[in-house]
Amino acid sequence: MEMAMELKRRALELLQKDADKISNLIQVQRDNLTMPQCPLYEEVLDTQMFGLSREIEFAVRLGLVTEAQGHAILADLEKELSSLHEIFSQKIGQS
């Protein structure tokens, strides 16, 4: 039982670490106000987000994290992306 709890804790920790890497990419874009529609930017973030969503799906299927935990991780990143797009849109509007 204790080992199962440790595996669940570790799985959630690793998923959060991967989410933090994506969050850092978003933060770099926010700090530099690089155009979010840049194909390379979108491709990297899309690939990272897709990979994380697959990791989460796998962990859910194994019973290591709940769907709610996985959804929360992705929802936080999606909010950050939305915020970046809003900031960029405001910058464009001021130009």
Where are the domains positioned within the chain? Answer: 42-95
Q: What pLDDT does 95 receive? A: 58
Note the pLDDT tens digit of each residue in 48-66: 999 999 999 999 999 999 9
Q: What pLDDT does 64 receive? A: 96
Question: What global pTM score does this model have?
Answer: 0.84
Note the pLDDT tens digit of each residue in 14-51: 999 999 999 998 888 877 765 555 666 778 888 999 99
Q: How is residue 49 written in tokens?
A: 């987000």
Contact call for residues 26 and 81 (beta carbons, < 8 A):
yes
Distance CA 85, CA 82 (A): 5
